[in-house]
Amino acid sequence: MKSRYILFLLCLCSFPLQTYSQNRTSILKNVAIQHLDLSFELYDRLQKTIWRNAELGFLEVKSSELLQQHLKENGFKIESGVAGIPTAFVATYGSGGPVIGILAEFDALPGLSQDTVSFRKPLVEGGGGHGCGHNVFGIGSMAGAIAIKHWLAQTRCQGTIKLFGTPAEEGGGGKVYMAREGVFNNVDVMLDWHPGTNNFVNVGSGTAVLMVDYTFKGIAAHAANNPEKGRSALDAVEAMDFMVNMMREHVLPSTRIHYVIQDGGEAPNVVPTSAKVSYYIRSPRRDVLRSIAEWVDQAAEGAAKGTQTQVKKEIICGFYEKLDNRALSKIVQKNLEIVGGVIYDAREQHFAEEIAKVSGQDPTNICQVKEVLPLVEETLSTWSGSTDVGDVSWNVPTTTFRTSVFVPGTSLHSWQNVAVCGTTIGTKALLNAAKVFSLTAIDLYSNPKLIQNIRNEFEKKRGKNFKYTPLLGDRAPALDYRVARK
C-alpha cells in the first residue's frame, strides 16, 4: 500500500524529462517493463499464431479476434467493427485525459507464405505471409498497451490508453476510414511503430498515394473476320499507359507512378470488350499528387476517346504523406535509446547470417541490430513508400519508430522477412517496441506539459485552416479488395 502511495505521488509530481536520463536501471524497473520482461513466452506464442494464420487485408478475422480477446481478458473495453470494417476495433483502458493511442496492424501479404528457414519454402503454396512483419506489429502494440495498463492500474495515475486495431494497411487503408469516421478524435497523442531492419525514429514523410482502377469497355468482334466492328478495350489501356509513360518526363523526380494490367481480354481472336489497369500514383506532397492524378485521369479519358471506348474510374484507396512531430519524436528517441537494440543469441545470430547470405547481404552488418540510430532532421521524404498512418498523423500528433525485426540489407515484403519475423528474433524486437511505448506513455502521463508542446507544434504545422479531406473521398471500405485479386 505504501509503495503504491509513493508511486501515486511520483505520478502527480510531473517530474521533468531529463530526470529519466539519469538512471536507466531505475527507469526500467517500473511495472510496465517488468510485465514485458516476464511475458516473453506469451507474446512469442501470440505473434507466431498470427504469423501462421497470415490473413490478408480486411480478412484478418482470426488475428483481430485474437488481439481483441486478449485485450478483453486484460481489462480493456472493446468496440468491434468500427468504421464499417468488421476487423477494425478500439480497445480502451483507464479514464480521463491524457488519452494516448497506439496503432496496431495485423494484415499479411499475398503469395509470401514461408517457413522459418533460410531457403524458399512456402508453408502454404500460393498462400499469404507476413512480409511486412505485421504479426509482430500487432502483438508488439498490444503488449505495449497492456504493459501501460499495468502501470496505470498500479500508480492510479489519471489517463486513458487506447489500442487501435487497424486492418488492411497493405493497400486497403483501414486507418483512412477510421480517421474519416472520427475514430481517432479525442486522442491527444498517437504512438506508432513498424518492424524494420534498424532501430530508429522514422521522421520521413513517405509519400502520399492514390490507388485508382480504370476500367475500359469496348465492343467485341471476331478479330480476323470483322475487326472493323470491334473497339478494343485493351487498346485503350495501352494508349493510356503510353500517355502516362510520356508524362514521366514532366513530373517531379520524387513522383512515382506504377501500374499493372489486371484484365487484358480473353483471347487474341476476340476483340477485348473489357480491360482494366490499376495505378498507384505517389508524391511526397498530396497537393502535387492531386494534380498528377488529374493528369492521369485526362490520359484515361483521352485514351477512351481515341479508341472509341468507355472508361470508368474507381478510387480504391488513398493515403496522406506523414506529418512528423519533432517534440514527440525526441521523447520516443530518448526512450528507444534507453531500451537499446536487439540482442541475438547464438542460434538467432546463425539464422540471421544465413538469411543475410541468401539475400546477397554482408553478414557483418548484422551487428547494426544492437544499435540505435541517432535522430535525424525531419525531411519531406526519406523513403518512397506510403502508409495509412499518414492520415492518422494529420488528425492526431503521431510518431513512428522502428525496431530491428529484419536482417539489415533485406527488403520489406520478401520471403526472407516472413521467415525472420516468425522466430524469436521478431519477439525480441516487438518487446523492445512495447517497452518504448511504455516509457513514452509514462513520460506523457507524468508530465502533461509535454503533450501541450506536442499539440502546439501539431496545430502550427497543420495550419489554422486545415480540414481533413481523405484522398479516397466518400467511398465505402473496399472490403473485398484482396478477394477480387485472388
Binding residues for Zn ion, rule: CB under 5 A, are 132
Is-contact 138 66, C-beta < 8 A?
Answer: no
**Closest separation between CB of residue 132 and Zn ion, Å?**
3
Nearer to Zn ion, 102 or 220 (CB): 102
Cα dihedral sign, 108-113-117-118: negative
Show the CA angle centred on residue 176, arms to residues 171 and 180, nearest 5°.
Answer: 155
**Closest separation between CB of residue 376 and Zn ion, Å?**
21
| C-alpha–C-alpha distance, residues 284 and 294, integer Å | 16
**Closest separation between CB of residue 210 and Zn ion, Å?**
17
Nearer to Zn ion, 130 or 286 (CB): 130
Is-contact 322 314, C-beta < 8 A?
Answer: no
**Residue whose cell numbers read 481515341:** 306
> Omega into 98 within 30° of 0, i.e. cis?
yes
C-alpha cell at 465: 485552416
| C-alpha–C-alpha distance, residues 80 and 92, integer Å | 12
Nearer to Zn ion, 27 or 163 (CB): 163
Strand ranges across the sheet with 208-217:
256-263, 274-283, 208-217, 310-319
**Closest separation between CB of residue 112 and Zn ion, Å?**
10
**Closest separation between CB of residue 208 and Zn ion, Å?**
16
**Closest separation between CB of residue 413 and Zn ion, Å?**
6
**Closest separation between CB of residue 335 and Zn ion, Å?**
22
Nearer to Zn ion, 132 or 157 (CB): 132
Nearer to Zn ion, 132 or 478 (CB): 132
First to last CA, the chain: 58
Nearer to Zn ion, 135 or 361 (CB): 135
The runs of H, that is alpha helices, within 108-200 are 134-155, 174-180
Nearer to Zn ion, 203 or 304 (CB): 203
**Closest separation between CB of residue 444 and Zn ion, Å?**
25
Nearer to Zn ion, 132 or 450 (CB): 132
Ranges assigned E (strand) in 226-273: 256-263
Q: What residue number has its CB nearest to Zn ion?
A: 132
Q: What residues contact residue 449 under an 8 Å CB cut-off, 6+ apart?
A: 14
| C-alpha–C-alpha distance, residues 403 and 122, integer Å | 26
